[in-house]
């Protein structure tokens, strides 16, 4: 097996063409190495992107925060920029796995491994990120939903596509985001449920709200019915509660022997969504 250390995005593209689709991009490796070992994701070569300077940065540019695809979750959790604008993303990134895993794993990896309830990807989802993908064909931008092809399946083919960065718009004063996790333990465990929200509230009225939740389907699922209900309404406890109930309309949770039965998840999803909405309200000083 070949191990290619790329030093630039061009190196990666070159390696793609040389390996003819038989290599895989390796970032933190916290999933890929295990999957390779168990035979789930065999490949002829790994292209290590962790030493590409431009992918290692978090920076502010043109009203956006740019998070390079080789930035680790620890770096995101500790980034002053992220903590200032999106404390919920710092929280989500700071919850994945354990400290040792977060020191290696990346936000992009959390998206590409495509686990529905991946905490960092969940916290990112309602921020409406632009996922910038480069390949021999050029550059394209995916939104969050476009990045997921199925359960545990990414729309990004890491044998020929490289996520260069994730871009998030810097929020206005009246826009805030939240992340809530219902957990059996604080480390080394996927949550029973998680949810995240971002809203803009003007004169007490919700201009828009995006709510994501998992694991209730493919990827961080949008709670569309709840969003529609809340749009144009006041952000208060009664409405948040109603939205929580409506979240069930877009959710199809399954039973897990460990992380909760379908019944339990259906009973608590409304609570988690309600709390995600209320947390936004609390950050805005409304509730």
Partner 1 sequence: MEKYVGKDIPRNDGYDKATGRGLFTHDIFLPHMLYAKVLRSPYAHARVVSIDTSEAEKMKGVRAVCTFENTTSKLFNTSATMVTTNPGAEPVRDQTVFTGEPKYIGDEIAAVAADTEKIAEEAVKKIKVEYEELPYVLDPLEAIKDDAPDVQPELAHKKNICGEVIEINFGDVNKGFEDAEVVVDAFVKLPRVKQAQMETHAAVASYKSDGTLEVYSTTQTPHPTKMIIAYTFDLPESKVHVKNPPYVGGGFGVRIGISGKAEMIATALTMRAKRPVKFVYTRAEDFLYSDTRHGGYLKGRLGAKKDGTFVALDTTAWLNTGAYATFGVELLGVCGACGTAGTYHVPNLHYSGYPVYTNQETAGAFRGFGTPQGTFIVETLVDAMAKKLDMDPIELRKMNTMKETDDNWFPFSLGSIGVNECLDKAAAEIGWKEKRGKCKEGKIRRGVGIACGTHVSNAAPFCVDYNAVTLRIEQDGSMVVQSGIPEIGPGSTTALLQVTADEMGIDFDKITMQFGDTKAGPFDIGSHATRTLYTVSQVIDKAAKKLKADIFDYTAELMKMDREGMYMEGGVIISGDKKVALKDLAYEAHLRGKQFIESDSMVPPNSLPWYAQAAEVEVDMETGMVKVLKVAAAHDVGKVVNPRLAEGQIEGGVIQGVGYACREEMTYVDGKGFYNSGFHNYMLPTADDVPEVVSILVESNDPKGIYGIKGIGEVGVCPTAPAIVSAVEDATGIRFHEIPMTPGRVLKAIKEKEQESA
Tell me if 15 contacts partner 1 by CB under 8 A: no
Tokens linked to 48: 């290590």
Task: Tell me the closest approach of the beta carbon of residue 56 to partner 1, in angstroms.
Answer: 27
Count of residues engaged in binding partner 1, rule: CB under 8 A: 19
Instruction: Mark the segment that binds partner 1 (CB under 8 A) among 57-65, 81-89, 163-171, 180-188.
Output: 180-188
Instruction: Mark the segment that binds partner 1 (CB under 8 A) among 37-45, 79-87, 145-153, 178-186.
Output: 178-186
Cα–Cα distance between 182 and 192 in angstroms, integer? 6
Distances 78 to 18, 190, 244, 279 between C-alpha atoms, Å: 37, 21, 31, 21
Tell me if 103 contacts partner 1 by CB under 8 A: no
Cα–Cα distance between 10 and 27 in angstroms, integer? 16
Tell me if 172 contacts partner 1 by CB under 8 A: no
Instruction: Mark the segment that binds partner 1 (CB under 8 A) among 4-12, 48-56, 71-79, 252-260.
Output: 252-260
DSSP at 156 = S
Q: Quick one: 56 or 241, whose CB is closer to partner 1?
A: 241
Residues within window 182-201 making contact with partner 1, judged by CB under 8 A: 182, 184-189, 192
Task: Tell me the closest approach of the beta carbon of residue 268 to partner 1, in angstroms.
Answer: 5
Tell me if 267 contacts partner 1 by CB under 8 A: yes
Cα dihedral value 57, 61, 65, 70, nearest 10: -20
Tell me if 257 contacts partner 1 by CB under 8 A: yes
Binding map of partner 1 across residues 71-100, x = CB under 8 A, - = no contact: ---------------------------x--
The answer to whether residues 192 and 215 touch, using CB atoms and an 8 Å cutoff, is: no
Residue in the block written with tokens 């959790």: 77
Distances 77 to 55, 62, 108 between C-alpha atoms, Å: 17, 22, 14
Task: Tell me the closest approach of the beta carbon of residue 22 to partner 1, in angstroms.
Answer: 23
The answer to whether residues 105 and 121 touch, using CB atoms and an 8 Å cutoff, is: no
Residue in the block written with tokens 């998992």: 214
Cα dihedral value 270, 273, 275, 280, nearest 10: -150
For partner 1, the binding residues (CB under 8 A) are: 98, 182, 184-189, 192, 257-258, 260-261, 263-264, 267-268, 271-272
């Amino acid at each position: 097996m070949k191990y290619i250390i790329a030093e630039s995005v061009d190196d990666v593209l070159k390696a793609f063409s040389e390996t003819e689709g038989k290599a895989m991009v390796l970032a933190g490796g916290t999933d890929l190495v295990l999957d390779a070992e168990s035979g789930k994701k065999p490949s002829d070569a790994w292209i290590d992107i962790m030493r590409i300077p431009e992918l290692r940065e978090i920076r502010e540019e043109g009203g956006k925060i740019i998070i390079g695809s080789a930035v680790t979750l620890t770096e995101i959790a500790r980034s002053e920029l992220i903590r200032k604008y999106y404390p919920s993303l710092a929280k989500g990134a700071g919850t994945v796995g354990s400290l040792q895993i977060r020191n290696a794993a990346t936000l992009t990896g959390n998206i590409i491994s495509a686990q529905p309830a991946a905490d960092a990807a969940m916290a990112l989802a309602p921020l409406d990120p632009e996922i910038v993908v480069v390949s021999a064909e050029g550059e394209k931008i995916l939104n969050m939903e476009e990045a997921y092809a199925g359960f545990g399946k990414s729309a990004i083919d890491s044998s020929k596509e490289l996520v260069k960065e994730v871009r998030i718009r810097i929020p206005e004063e009246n826009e805030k985001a939240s992340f809530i996790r219902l957990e059996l333990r604080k480390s080394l465990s996927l949550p029973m449920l998680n949810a995240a929200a971002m809203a803009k509230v003007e004169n007490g009225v919700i201009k828009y709200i995006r709510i994501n939740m998992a694991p209730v389907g493919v990827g961080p699922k949008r709670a569309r019915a709840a969003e529609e209900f809340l749009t144009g309404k006041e952000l208060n406890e009664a409405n948040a509660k109603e939205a929580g109930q409506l979240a069930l309309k877009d959710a199809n949770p399954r039973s897990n022997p460990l992380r909760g039965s379908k019944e339990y998840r259906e009973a608590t999803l409304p609570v988690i969504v309600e709390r995600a909405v209320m947390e936004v309200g609390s950050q805005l000083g409304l509730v």
